[in-house]
Amino acid sequence: MNPLLTTFDTPYATAPFSKIKNEHFEPAIISAIALSKDEIELITNSKEQPTFSNTIEQLEFSGMQLKRITSVFFNLNSAETSDELQKIAQEVSPLLTEFANDIRLNKELYKRVKTVYEQKKSLDLTQEQQTLLNNQYKMFVRNGANLNESNKEKLRSIDSKLSKLSLKFGENILAETNDFELHIENESALSGLPEGAKEAASLTAKQRDKKGWVFTLDYPSYVPFMTYIDDRELRKKVALAFGARSFQNNKFDNQSVLLEIVNLRFERANLLGYKSHSDFVLEERMAENPKKVLSFLNDILDKAKPAAEQEFNQLKKIALKESVPQLQKWDGAYYSEKLKKELFDLDEEELKPYFQLENVLNGVFLVAEKLFDLQFESINNIDTYHYDVMTYKVTDSRGILMAVFYADFFPRKGKRNGAWMTSYKDQWKKDTENSRPHISIVCNFTKPTETKPSLLTFSEVTTLFHEFGHALHGILANTTYPSISGTSVHWDFVELPSQILENWCYEKEALDLFAKHYKTNELIPMELVEKIIKSSNFLEGITTLRQLSFGLLDMQWHSQDPTNIKSVKEFEDTSFQNTSLYPVVNENCMSTAFSHIFQGGYSSGYYSYKWAEVLDADAFDYFKSNGIFNKTIAQKFKDHILSKGGTENPMELYKRFRGQEPNSNALLKRAGLLK
């Protein structure tokens, strides 16, 4: 019996991971596609006149089993993959793309949806129903429903190729990340590296049956190495390896994969009547079009660049003291840490003992309790896909189930780098049932060692709060329809709940909830809190410039005709000309490992981090002026933002919460870029 094709008879109907074998996925997906096709046929073959109920709602709730199976599969393919799973992904992705196109290019189905859409003024629909109807109609129109048969076939072919290429892109980066290790047997080479990072590298060596220390390109290994190792040549070696991922003219090279992706995206947009991929994507964003995005990014660039250049000169001065005449990329983190120590007398290592992972996690739970009356209870009766994964039952103040929450914190071979939030099951309402979501956050933090628990850097603390902000967006979802529930919002609005939560990390009132020394349990001293607050704008100009450079690179790849681009590296270097501070490194290329835009759904959307920062700075300013745990404002944030998903235009939701449109001055003021 295939467990994926049965009702999950588990606590809270969670995925029965221990019963699921790799060989179950492909037959389950094929079977669920067939079932979904039957559901679609019932709608299209209906003799009844199309109505909102028998067409729009039925379409919305079709394919639920397929969505459930694929969410389990693709989440595993990111967090716990293997060669076998990657092979299955390459097999099933074209089938899923073909099925999605079968729906979007189905003439009879489109006709029924269009009939309902054309009657919408005379229908008595709620705001959420209107949004669903608009979304469904646009889903057909924006994906080729009005094309002739020959162009529909072209579109199918493009989509099938794209689904395989984005998988290939991610697989190549993971392979390159896993392939590299730096094995050091002479302890003197580790000069400058803190004890904790040394111990973690020793543990990695032991796990690989090696003596000494092993460093990898996983963030918990890479970041401390680049920040603290005194040996400049070793830093260079590791930085070059990191920057050369999938840019080495080997079987894991992404240059041709990337060029094929951008060309196919451009061809697809043209086929659908759009000037570029960005024009197609941004039509459904708050930003609306490429011109607005570029104007937004360049406006911030004008304000950030002078500050960035000033900060870079400070770094150069520190490097010069150590006889480094030319600052290179492998010097950035190292001299930044020295400058931070000089300016604020703040050492990241001094902070880590106050940020034990379990305490920080408990702290973010307490913040959620104080703001939104949520309770998180650790439970162990739920199946997980790896023994590192922790599970929680989330309830409200009345004890009613709000969500199941998974947390997966440590790097391993089958897990991609970075941090993300995802869901195994969306929230929706049907037949008086409010079916609750299963939400997960996945990070890559330093593992506990034989002598120390997992101690986070302050940057990792903000990462945990960030991903947990996304999780709250899913946990507090309260909409009728799954396709507009939780984080299913405009892409440049999705980062608001995550980015606003990071602000609590800089507040003493919040830090006092969890920042306790892992040995003595003493609260973080006020002087350290003050240093954290003072250093919150540290190198903000450089950080902003870096983020803008990625947003602009994304727009360069996607807002113009890419057909004449022959060299990925040359194109990238040209794009970075106005934002780069360091000399160009010929052996490195950022684009070939830019998973966000070539694998993760952020194409023409990377600007949204900065866009949402304007919203989050303005929104947090509201909290800050009235108390960071102000219940009334938290309730408004929950009612108008977190619970509403994508049911309305995000600017309308924001104005209902804030009483006004966001003011970008709040961001510039917070970043110290407003004179």
First-to-final CA distance of the chain:
67
Percent composition of the chain: helix, strand, coil (DSSP 3-state, to 5): 60, 5, 35
Residue 355 is given by DSSP the state -
| String of DSSP letters for 446-513 | PPP-SS---B--HHHHHHHHHHHHHHHHHHT---S-GGGSTT-S-TTTTTHHHHHHHGGGG-HHHHTT
Of 86, 243, 273, 266, the closest CA to residue 162 belongs to 266
Sign of the C-alpha dihedral computed for residues 570, 573, 577 and 583 taken in this order: negative
Assess contact for 64 and 427: CB atoms under 8 A: no
Residue 294 tokens read as: 């570029």
The H or E element containing residue 404 is strand 401-408
* Sign of the CA dihedral with 363 first, then 365, 368, and 374 last: negative
Contact 277, 269 (CB under 8 A): yes
Is 284 designated active site?
no
User: Which letter, b or e, does each residue of 69-86 get, where b requires 16 or more Cβ atoms within 10 Å of its Cβ?
Assistant: bbbbbbbbbbbbbeeebb
The secondary structure of residue 3, as a DSSP letter, is G
Of 80, 337, 460, 467, catalytic = 467
Q: Please identify every residue annotated as catalytic.
A: 467
